Structure 1
Amino acid sequence: MGALILARLGMERGLAENAVLAGSGLTLAAMEAPDSEVSAEAETAVISNLASTAGPGATWGLDAGCRYHLTTFGIWGFALMSAPTVRAAVDIGLRFIDLTYALTAPYADLDGADLRMTFRTPALPDDVACFILQRDMAAVHTIQTEVLGRGARFRRVTFTQEPASPEAAARFTEVFGVTPEFGAAANTVVFDPGLVDQRLPQADERTTALAQAQCRALLDRRNAHAGLAGQVRDLILARLRDVPSAGEVATALNLSERTLRRRLSEEDTSVRTLVDEVRATLAAEFLASGSLTVAEIADRLGYAEMSSFSQAFRRWHGVSARQFVAARTP
């Protein structure tokens, strides 16, 4: 979704699809698929195309960050929205930051008694690094306003970069609602201490626990591509509507079924378990994104009967799909 947002921004600004996606290996059609995943390298290539077109000192990164809504981030955004407080939301967000599009490796600490997030400058060309910093920091502000309301502001915002013009400086102030300190030692946002421990409007401990469990499962899946289990997951993902049998998986991997079972057992899993994990994770992710109906999700995951999908979803997540959707609806 993140690269798709960037591509659409570039095309709105006059870039052709092949120009905005040059060097990324991406296509709009592939990115529009609900289960698409984009590497950091591919996303950086798109950002590089945008930054070079925008020119030095541009604020396209801020414009991009304003388009990264809670719903953009799927289950990660759901976990933040249902967190008890801003402080808890920051903690959750950073624990699962690898599920987002952030390329600045942010971390939280205290500025005196105030909660502060610091964003590292990526080791990339200056124009690309500036775009990414603008985007990631503006996205955090967008999320804060969606969680707390449009009146929410950071207490302080600092950038190491200097604005290229008074117009650029004004755009920073417009986006953040406060005038940043430019030429600072670090890129930071400091939260209003009066808001940090205030209970969030949609706080729900059960819901955020469920969402965090899904974040952990999704992160585990993304980190598992190195082993045999990762290869099996890839085969399952390629045939969601017609999940391969253990025999078909073994054939695709040039293994006997016995060897496949043994090697997966050494990784504490099985083909059946991996099918369940993939379906459970994607079901929650699709529902959180709101991009598909429950019936469409059931079909995409290979369930001919809604009743079978409903039973499986309750077994995976402890609630019905309808309850899962209702819990995330404001």
Structure 2
Amino acid sequence: MIEGTVSTQLTRLLAGAAGANAALAPFAGELHDDLVRVPASLTDSLWQELTGVTAAQLVRALPDQGVGLWSQLFSGGETLLDGLRDAARYLPLLADPATESIEVIDNGELTTVRHSSTTRLPPAVAATRIEFGLGVVLEQLRRAAARTVTPRHAGFTHAAPRHHDDLVNLFGSGNLAFAAESNTLTFLTADLTTPLPYVRPGLATVLRQHANLVLRAVRPASTWHDKFRAAVTAALRDGDCSLRTVATRLSLSPRTLQRRLTEQGTTWRTELETVRQSRAVRLLQNTDLTVDAIADRVGYSDARSLRRATQRWHGTSPRTVRAKSTRAGPTVVPGA
């Protein structure tokens, strides 16, 4: 799992509620890929856009399918308690594992869901985030059970809001405590251990296996800078790496591309040099191509130009760079 990231499903939910879909523009094309994770800093900024939106409103905005695989886990077992434990274990499918966790504590009579969250958000925003987190857990339990599930008690570490009728409605109970030691929902264990209405034997195992595969396969969303460097690499590979060519690949004008690079604190020349260096080293260490051939592939006129560049980058010759490779034998990289 990648710390400092969150799921695209949660990000889309928050952006829609905040009316801030423009904030997702840098990740367009990847936000419907369940294997992509976006920076937690993005959702933090979305939470701050949600000032004035209550946890109850956000829970009501939850789509019918919930938030993907994590929501499905609630209905995978034979009882609600089974699903709740799986959802707690696999919370990293949804939230940043560096800052969010859920613990399920069962003493036989009572079962407590404890939500821990560390955040630098303003206190009022952080409070809504906690209320939303516990509210989503309760909503998923209700959907899995196809009935009303009501906690005996809910506790929050933040101070009591001026009005909390919406929280009473959300949790179905007036037994709410504020300035508590931890953020919790407490249920009668018997209410969570009755068989679910539609038990599908083996489903929980399949969902857990899928969750493990997803957690191993997730990747961070590509930034604009990543996409730019990929376009430069592709242009080098095709033998035409001009500013205009790369701008066209990115559907930008050359002037707009230069402005974007300035905003990123870099320049076209610096970026081209960086990509050339990375590609040259990769070709030197992973292929048996001649220095002349590599020079051509990274956009230099001849081997002499590449030797000067390698001296500038590494203070040594292409031969020495190649000798540092730890490969056992030559490896031809397709399309290199």
Shared fold by TM > 0.5? yes
User: What code does the residue aligned with 1:254 have?
Assistant: R
Structure with the larger helix share: 1
In the other structure, the counterpart of 2:48 is: 48
User: What code does the residue aligned with 2:129 have?
Assistant: I
Deviation of the 1:146 alpha carbon: 0.4
In the other structure, the counterpart of 1:4 is: 12
Tell me if structure 1 keeps the 8 A contact 2:104–2:111.
yes
Distance 1:219 1:165, change over 3 A: same
Between the aligned partners of 1:40 and 1:263, the Cα distance in structure 2 is 37
Any idea what the Cα deviations from partners look like across 1:203-236, whole Å, max 9, x if unmatched? 223122111101001111238x8xxxxxxxx99x
Any idea what the Cα deviations from partners look like across 1:274-315, whole Å, max 9, x if unmatched? xxxxxxxxxxxxxxxxxxxxxxxxxxxxxxxxxxxxxxxxxx
In the other structure, the counterpart of 2:151 is: 154
Alignment equivalent of 2:110, drawn from 114, 118, 134 = 114
- 1:244-263 correspondence to structure 2 within 5 Å: 254=282, 256=286
User: What code does the residue aligned with 2:49 have?
Assistant: N
Distance 1:198 1:41, change over 3 A: same
User: What code does the residue aligned with 1:49 have?
Assistant: E
Between the aligned partners of 1:88 and 1:72, the Cα distance in structure 2 is 18
Moved more, 213-222 or 193-202: 193-202
1:219 aligns with 2:215: yes
1:190 aligns with 2:192: no
1:136 aligns with 2:164: no
Tell me if structure 2 keeps the 8 A contact 1:85–1:196.
yes
Distance 1:112 1:88, change over 3 A: closer
Tell me if structure 2 keeps the 8 A contact 1:156–1:191.
yes
Between the aligned partners of 1:164 and 1:177, the Cα distance in structure 2 is 17
In the other structure, the counterpart of 1:244 is: none
Tell me if structure 2 keeps the 8 A contact 1:82–1:202.
no
Tell me if structure 2 keeps the 8 A contact 1:80–1:208.
no
Tell me if structure 1 keeps the 8 A contact 2:110–2:188.
yes
Between the aligned partners of 1:252 and 1:65, the Cα distance in structure 2 is 52
In the other structure, the counterpart of 2:74 is: 80
Between the aligned partners of 1:211 and 1:189, the Cα distance in structure 2 is 25
Distance 1:33 1:165, change over 3 A: same
Distance 1:70 1:86, change over 3 A: farther
Between the aligned partners of 2:282 and 2:85, the Cα distance in structure 1 is 44
- 1:14-93 correspondence to structure 2 within 5 Å: 17-18=21-22, 21=23, 26=25, 29-30=28-29, 32-35=31-34, 36-51=36-51, 54=52, 60-68=54-62, 71-93=65-87
Between the aligned partners of 2:190 and 2:199, the Cα distance in structure 1 is 17
Between the aligned partners of 1:177 and 1:135, the Cα distance in structure 2 is 14
Alignment equivalent of 1:203, drawn from 191, 199, 206 = 199
User: What code does the residue aligned with 1:206 have?
Assistant: G
Percent of matched pairs sharing the same residue? 17
User: What code does the residue aligned with 2:42 have?
Assistant: A
User: What code does the residue aligned with 2:32 have?
Assistant: A
Deviation of the 1:192 alpha carbon: 2.7
Greater C-alpha Rg: 2
CA RMSD of aligned residues (A): 3.6
What is the TM-score when the length of structure 2 is the normalising length? 0.57
Q: How many residues align?
A: 225
